[in-house]
Structure 1
């Protein structure tokens, strides 16, 4: 099986119809979102959800985010406290996932939630939102890549990785945000950050007036995607916060500050020559893939500031560099 690739600019109506047809048959479809490309399937169909896990080689204990068309649809499946509702109203559609209690007798299948009594819910922008609305059911949609590897930000990335395991890939050009959604869980008067992402912790604190609590150490329970210690990993080893390059390494730069030994690099990619974190986030996964494709044994990455989107970038880099 080789995936059919349809570009939205060629025929958006046909892309929407074909995607709905594949979903209705119980198969996953690779779709563009504002964060990364997702591998979407009917969250209420156990066979369809199983096919996501099989295509990705994903552990069954790692839950999936369920994507909704809007807040009203999300309320059919999960219960919202006042703070979670405020966050949804402020950041949806957009790159924020909320961990919420499942409603009793929900139609979302337990395979999608890894058997938990909570569910991660997000409302995406663009084609993904139109697809959910047309299909009429929530879509479970992790990133469209082999589990643990670098996330895809283009249809080409998906085709190179999963093209022989899928029926359909929808091409919507490069994902503008470039890192996955932020995942939070409201717990009383605090908000727990489970995964930094496209909405910064500072924005969430400003919207709610509540403090963000960050996890310390490895998670005892995997309650959201992206919590595995090793994740988003290229084949090459990754070395972080480099001040000096070793011969043969690929360098991933940030900003204009020079790196000692840069002239010895096998290749150089600059996430953002101007030091813009949004630009760096949008380039991160693409440059990790390109650095990996160079054939070098190790990828060296300059230090990235920790504020704003830098927290999400550093989270992905730390997991890419973790022991495997």
Structure 2
């Protein structure tokens, strides 16, 4: 287990190199994001994703979300990107909005009982984005034991996950400190599954016909 200060430019480079190597080798990495800290694995390494679920004490009934380093990455993960998804991405990516979409059936991953869908987000954090652009799509969940408070610092994540994670990237306290807002785009109209970092008022400015949680 290694911890790297990613605020310092020198140790940040060392940390990113170690994290890239760890993720490519099937180990878990804790990274800072704009919302909360995340624990991640190569999304296409099924053994690593199982380790991620085990580290959190969580089963496959709650599928692992995926973080991407660019808008273009989403095009390779789905059969087609709905127009409303493009509008929401333009408005809120990178940022605290997660989108549930149908993934391409040809993908060789197993994120849990996802029913051919994936929850995907592009985070607004330079360390996370650099890691994602080097590794590719990563399965990332909040860096905490399931049922415990989400970690807003690397230290809080380390206190919970300990040596189950190979590399911890410390980027300081998470700016927002709450999880992302989730919008489900798999039905006829968008549905809010969770309100979080992006307010519903802001979402409605882009998708005025969105269904609220009470109506889902």
TM-score category of the 2 structures, normalised to the smaller one = over 0.9
Aligned to 1:6: 4
> Equivalences for 1:45-60 in 2 at 5 Å?
45-60=45-60
Is 1:164 paired with 2:143? no
Aligned to 1:28: 28
In the TM superposition, what is the alpha-carbon distance from 1:174 to its structure 2 partner? 0.3
Q: Secondary structure at the match of 1:164?
A: helix
1:193–1:148 Cα change, 3 Å: same
> Equivalences for 1:1-324 in 2 at 5 Å?
3-10=1-8, 11-78=11-78, 79-107=80-108, 109-110=109-110, 112-125=111-124, 126-135=126-135, 137-186=136-185, 187-188=187-188, 190-215=189-214
Give deviations 1:73-105, integer Å, cap 9, x for gaps: 011002311111110111100011100011130
Q: Secondary structure at the match of 1:51?
A: helix
Alpha-carbon contact 1:205-1:212 (below 8 Å) kept: no
Alpha-carbon contact 2:31-2:169 (below 8 Å) kept: yes
Q: Secondary structure at the match of 1:88?
A: helix
Q: Give the Cα separation in 2 of the matches to 1:161 and 1:191.
A: 35
Relative contact order (alpha carbons < 8 A, sep ≥ 6): 1 or 2 greater? 2
Alpha-carbon contact 2:192-2:210 (below 8 Å) kept: no
Q: Give the Cα separation in 2 of the matches to 1:207 and 1:180.
A: 20
Q: Give the Cα separation in 1 of the matches to 2:210 and 2:117.
A: 22
In the TM superposition, what is the alpha-carbon distance from 1:209 to its structure 2 partner? 2.6
In the TM superposition, what is the alpha-carbon distance from 1:133 to its structure 2 partner? 0.4
Unpaired runs of 5+ residues, structure 2, are none
Q: Secondary structure at the match of 1:209?
A: coil
Q: Secondary structure at the match of 1:40?
A: strand
Alpha-carbon contact 1:194-1:215 (below 8 Å) kept: no
TM-score between the two structures when normalised by the length of structure 2: 0.93
Number of positions where the alignment pairs a residue of Structure 1 with one of Structure 2 = 211
Unpaired runs of 5+ residues, structure 1, are 218-324
Q: Give the Cα separation in 1 of the matches to 2:114 and 2:82.
A: 22
Q: Could you say which structure has the larger radius of gyration?
A: 1
Q: Give the Cα separation in 1 of the matches to 2:50 and 2:141.
A: 12
In the TM superposition, what is the alpha-carbon distance from 1:210 to its structure 2 partner? 2.0
Alpha-carbon contact 2:99-2:119 (below 8 Å) kept: yes
Q: Secondary structure at the match of 2:44?
A: coil
TM-score between the two structures when normalised by the length of structure 1: 0.63
Q: Secondary structure at the match of 2:40?
A: strand
Alpha-carbon contact 2:32-2:174 (below 8 Å) kept: yes
Q: Secondary structure at the match of 1:9?
A: coil
